[in-house]
Chain A
Amino acid sequence: MQPIIVNSLNKTYGNGQVTAVKDVSFTVNENELFGLIGPDGAGKTSIFRILTTLLLADSGTAKVAGFDVVTGYREIRQRVGYMPGRFSLYPDLTIEENLAFFATIFDTSIEENYHLIRDIYIQIEPFKKRRAGKLSGGMKQKLALCCALIHKPEVLFLDEPTTGVDPVSRKEFWEMLGRLKSGGITILVSTPYMDEASLCDRIALMQSGSIMTIDTPEALTGSYPDPLFAISTEKASMPSILNALAQFEKTKSHYAFGEFAHASFTDKNLSADDIIGYLDSRGITNSRINLIKPTIEDRFIQLATQK
């Protein structure tokens, strides 16, 4: 049985004025870490809320843990763990009190399921008497994850769990997700960070309400249609490089990517030397060009611009 089955969901707000989710379908397999990847406003949170029975879709069906999200909402609410995007615990209660409260609400206790959260909780346990409102961003997210996990959910929904968290904590957080998955929990996670996408088993790339593609991260980057070049130079500025690329008749796509400019070309046989030659003719000398392996972000940009 697939824990999450989504079938052509649609959701609009304000009497159909704003489309949040457009014909979205996907399935998540058991023990899978599935990622919804997309920028803010791509419709990720709406999908989460529909799947956690908090919102009703305009059309389409969805099943979570074998129950329909509309008719079986009671059963679903007992079986899933949900961590909303915004920090949603009680800031005036301590770490311990928050956890104990949510454990009791789910009819369990911290002791009973301590093994599930031990790896995470051990890091914030020294501060367990501190109020949740006074925690750092990373600690808050760890606490929220503990609270979402304490009742041993079958399916875990994490809506942008690492937004606003420092890089070290983000890395730790994803390591924890990996361990949870091997512990037998199906996880649906969303993130706007493309670098985190490669840590998922499968990902859905989303743009303005619809899913552009679903695949494993490797397959997604592997299926990049053209050779991709990273261009950098010490002399010229990024705008001038981009400007030069824009005027090259063989340029297919070009954009800034950190300190590099990434570019692909219509002529697949174009070599790095050809490009250097062109840039030289434009007065951009000493440029370095490498053929690179595309990242998820490159693939995302390629898919988004293709439309």
Chain B
Amino acid sequence: MKQFLAFVRKEFAHVIRDRKTLLILFGMPVVQILIFGFALTNEVKNTSILIVDHAKDVASQQLITKIEASQYFEVQRSILSPHEINKAFQEGVVKVAVVFPVGFNESLKHENSASVQLLADASDPNTATTLTNYLGAIVEDFQSANNELNGTPYNISTETRMLYNPQLQGAHNFVPGVMALVLMLVCVMMTAVSIVREKETGTMEILLVSPFKPLLVIVSKAVPYLLLSLINVISILLLSVFVLDLPVKGSIILLFAESILFIITCLTMGIFISVKTSSQQVAMLISLMGMLLPTILFSGFMFPIENMPVALQIFSNVVPAKWFYIIVKSIMIKGMGFGGIWKESLILCLITLFLLVVSLKSFKIRLS
């Protein structure tokens, strides 16, 4: 036990004295949360919109006021020629435009139907779709308000309710994703590299020729990173609650317990990599290419798994981050208890067990 503690203390000294590692370790989660939270947002707010009002009548004014009132758009008007509309799009001043035809009010009142034209800059298709959807909703809203006034009998409207995330905040989606990503990076890469470093510098040689059990070398390597990763979990949660206004709906204790489970999964993966490689570069490359990429691609955090080819969908099942992502989303956003996530937890346990057994089987008590 005394030996074990000495080893853990030594491991902490390595981390604390290596400024760069320390910076990566604690700076990365903060930076990622802030980048995903503020820079990489796909929400639409205060988009410049061009209003081309050929009608200039009551109805068009009403609709324009409605558009102005929404927080999504900032109106820039007073352009009439098609040429100028083109120019505005080309310069990128506006992303979307609404064109009212002459006699908009007339046709609405007398023919019971009128059209407006929506133009959107589809060079960014996602934004264009979002913007036209928003505008469509505003127009529909205007229409149903009008219908009520006029007493038209038939009026079918859809009412959509966004469950768990009524404001469609991006933070709900990426906080669990970033958590999975950061833990994966810290645990897998740091453990793998730190064990392989001992092989590379030759200290493993001395450690092997000592009464210290080789297995304990590995375990005592994992303990410091487990603790450091927990600090990361805490800092991510603090940021998401206080900076991004995203509360944890479910049990915090359960969330921590599941995080520890996932951290252990990642640590065993790091140990597995370190057992199989003998240079720091290779260990780092495998951690990055073999772990980070699948985490981003197959956790469902950036790309929906349901849309992938069946083979990739099946493959995604062996990516631990996918299960952790589901677990965190369930606890944080849906407020679910252990009853709702036991299956995912079990899968993580099995993956961990498998990696542990394979690493122990292939751990070498001698050099090469």
Contacts and interface: CB of A to CB of B under 8 A. Distances in A.
Interface string A95-131: 0010011101111000000000000000000000000
B202 A107 contact: no
Interface of A: 49, 52-56, 73-74, 77-78, 80, 82, 84, 86-93, 97, 100-102, 104-107, 147-148
Nearest to B18: A92
Interface string B182-209: 0000000000000000000111011111
Contacts, number: 76
Given A101-B10, A105-B210, A147-B206, A88 B3 contact: no
B160 to A, nearest CB: 58
Interface residues of B, number: 24
A93 B212 CA distance: 19
B313 to A, nearest CB: 42
Contact of A53 (B2, B6, B212, B366): B366
A70 B17 CA distance: 38
The B contact surface, by secondary structure, is helix
Contacts of A148: 206
**Which 4 A-B residue pairings sit nearest by Cβ, starting from the closest?**
A88-B202, A104-B6, A82-B209, A78-B211
B10 A52 contact: no
A93 B202 contact: no
28 contacts: A52-B209, A53-B208, A54-B205, A54-B367, A73-B365, A73-B366, A77-B210, A77-B211, A78-B211, A84-B202, A84-B206, A87-B202, A88-B201, A88-B203, A88-B205, A88-B206, A89-B203, A89-B206, A93-B10, A97-B13, A102-B210, A104-B6, A105-B3, A105-B6, A105-B7, A105-B212, A107-B3, A148-B206
A36 B19 CA distance: 42
A90 B194 CA distance: 12
A82 B211 CA distance: 12
Contacts of B203: 88-90
Contact of B211 (A54, A93, A106): A106
Contacts of B202: 84, 86-88
Contacts of B66: none
B14 interface: yes
A72 B33 CA distance: 53
Contacts of A100: 6
Contact of B3 (A77, A78, A104, A147): A104
Contacts of A97: 10, 13
Given A55-B366, A90-B14, A93-B10, A105 B209 contact: no
Nearest to A83: B206
A106 B206 CA distance: 11
A100 B5 CA distance: 12
A105 B217 CA distance: 10
B206 A82 contact: yes
A49 B206 CA distance: 11
B191 to A, nearest CB: 17
B199 to A, nearest CB: 11
A101 B206 CA distance: 12
B366 to A, nearest CB: 5
A307 B209 CA distance: 36
Contacts of A86: 202
Contacts of B212: 105-106
B5 to A, nearest CB: 8
Most buried by B among A56, A104, A147, A148: A104
